[in-house]
Amino acid sequence: MGDPGLSKLQFAPFNSALDVGFWHELTQKKLNEYRLDETPKDIKGYYYNGDSAGLPTRLTLEFSAFDMSAPTPARCCPALGTLYNTNTLEAFKTADKKLLLEQSANEIWEAIKSGTALENPMLLNKFLLLTFAIQALQHAYDDLCQAEGVTALPYFLIKYDDNTVLVSLLKHYSDFFQGQRTKITVGVYDPCNLAQYPGWPLRNFLVLAAHRWSGSFQSVEVLCFRDRTMQGTRDVAHSIIFEVKLPEMAFSPDCPKAVGWEKNQKGGMGPRMVNLSGCMDPKRLAESSVDLNLKLMCWRLVPTLDLDKVVSVKCLLLGAGTLGCNVARTLMGWGVRHVTFVDNAKISYSNPVRQPLYEFEDCLAGGKPKALAAAERLQKIFPGVNASGFNMSIPMPGHPVNFSDVTLEQARRDVEQLEQLIESHDVIFLLMDTRESRWLPAVIAASKRKLVINAALGFDTFVVMRHGLKKPKQQGAGDLCPSHLMAPADLGSSLFANIPGYKLGCYFCNDVVAPGDSTRDRTLDQQCTVSRPGLAVIAGALAVELMVSVLQHPEGGYAIASSSDDRMNEPPTSLGLVPHQIRGFLSRFDNVLPVSLAFDKCTACSPKIWDMSDEETV
């Protein structure tokens, strides 16, 4: 190449073409699999030699780049690479690009010296991808390095014999070119469209040729094979052929200087930024972003957190008022996708300031039904949630219904609808204004063995509790719970410790009289739930957190109840304690965790009530 009469051979570098699907898959891998792992990952791309004239030489990475066994698209050559994904922007900026390039170059050089590149030509061409994914902003910084070119069967030997073209693999070069001493002909699968220059894959092959063959051949003839289809006709006429004089470097021990970092959009040596927000489905973006905070918990803080148990749970919210709105928002924060509201009230002018799912326009024209408006607002906040609302009344003890046929039929339909809703959901939240309105749902949920979370407010006090989850119907009173872990707890049950979930009381177990009309002969301030404004937010959040803690426990609703005495002990779940009740006192900014046994004469969960419910005589 030192001959002044010869032209200097130049190459067209690759342009990275990273599909949106690649970034989405990288996001999922980072959140769910890689997390804080920064070790290099194998990836795969491909390039094509049939692009139309004027298009750049492209190295393409798609969603399948992380599956090394995935098939390469037809008539495309695979390219193996390495992904370096950093955890911080600073690590991305300070990464030693030169060192990464040299490491990759040395790997290729060792393959050339050992001859393994002849057996596996894919070792000649590798690419590096250095990235830092900023998931919350939906941006990705990437620094794409083609340390050498690309790979596969794109390299082949050519020999002309009696008007016939013979081809062979590189590893057969000794036998294929036996007797030739001047030059040989090789073919390269060329992704470049430039009329005078070959593409990047030829670079490392020429190093291989010079290192292995310069002692035997003075030059090599190169056919840059380009194959495209235009208007239904296959065309290879734009392929180019030229001769390259091989330099003297036979068995040189030193690795040649490596180049290959792709320039950014400004033509400089810097990172490239890709903004995907304009080309991805907004609903998919929202779904990924909603789960981001939850999945980040699993990286380091709570690696054993089982998010699937939370996300897949179906929640029925009985009451769409102040508590219902706050519970719903917290459920969405935990990624719950199925929320159903039940309420018979309409939105009034006093509601929007305390109930975050409503606004002023919802109060006009008499007010929208709360349950329907709440479900509609959840879907506007996050389209991925399956939210529905039922505008219906719940029959209550102490509130007699009119004995007309129409009224009785409506009451029956309401009870049937309530039973169906409780049957089709996993967790039932009791969030109504009055005590008696919680009775019928508590009875039905107990008979159907559903987890019930109850929340109730005073002026500056609240109670959040889980109802005891009764044993399956096929088990007798003396049988153990489904898990053998319940046996020791059962033996040690007391009023203060080791009470298993099936022995816990419900909201009505401490009552000495049956529930009745709690609003009769009450003044306005006694009829309405008058509480400090922050109380519902606190109680609603604790209700959801209690549900999540129960779901994370291996015993679920049968988990032994934690009490205030357990605060210094080893927590039973990765999220901490699993109490029976949380009673809060805002005036003292204090919470206690009492535990109470079920009452065998309870008006809601006693065995006699179960039997009546099972016989459909409630």
Q: Cα(first)–Cα(last) distance of the chain, in Å?
A: 98
CA dist 203 to 12, 14, 84, 537, Å? Answer: 10, 12, 24, 65
Please state, in angstroms and rounded to a whole number, the distance separating the CA atoms of residues 340 and 378: 10
Pairing of strands 240-245, 272-275: unpaired
Concatenate the DSSP letters of all residues of 367-415 into one string. --BHHHHHHHHHHHH-TTSEEEEEE-----TT-PPP-SHHHHHHHHHHH
Concatenate the DSSP letters of all residues of 563-614 into one string. -GGGGGSPPSBTTB--BSEEEEETTTTEEE----BPPTT-TTTSHHHHHHHH
Beta carbons of 122 and 171 less than 8 angstroms apart: no
Please state, in angstroms and rounded to a whole number, the distance separating the CA atoms of residues 372 and 389: 5
Supply 356's token pair.
């975050």
Please state, in angstroms and rounded to a whole number, the distance separating the CA atoms of residues 420 and 317: 14
Please state, in angstroms and rounded to a whole number, the distance separating the CA atoms of residues 291 and 301: 15
Q: Kind and range of the H or E element at 114?
A: helix 97-114
Nearest to 257 by CA among 128, 150, 98: 98
Determine whether 528 is an active site residue: yes
Supply 563's token pair.
């009490």
Give start and end residues of each alpha helix (H) in 133-217.
173-176, 202-213
Q: In 494-523, which positions are buried (b, 16+ CB within 10 angstroms) versus exposed (e)? A: eeeebbbbbbbbbbbbebeeebeebeeeee
Supply 57's token pair.
């030489």
Q: In 564-601, which positions are buried (b, 16+ CB within 10 angstroms) versus exposed (e)? A: eebeeeeebbbbebbbbbbbbebeeeebebbbbbbbee
Beta carbons of 502 and 468 less than 8 angstroms apart: yes
Supply 277's token pair.
């927000």
Tell me the residue type at 551. L
Four-residue CA torsion sign, 534, 538, 541, 543: negative
Beta carbons of 70 and 22 less than 8 angstroms apart: no
How many whole angstroms from its chain centre is CA 41? 20
Which residue among 76, 298, 481, 528 is the active-site one? 528
Rg (CA), the chain: 36
Phi/psi of residue 486, nearest 5 degrees: -80, -20
Q: Kind and range of the H or E element at 322?
A: helix 322-333
The full 3-state SS of 224-250, as one line of letters, equals: EECCEEECCEEECCCCEEEEEECCCCC
Name the residues annotated as catalytic.
528
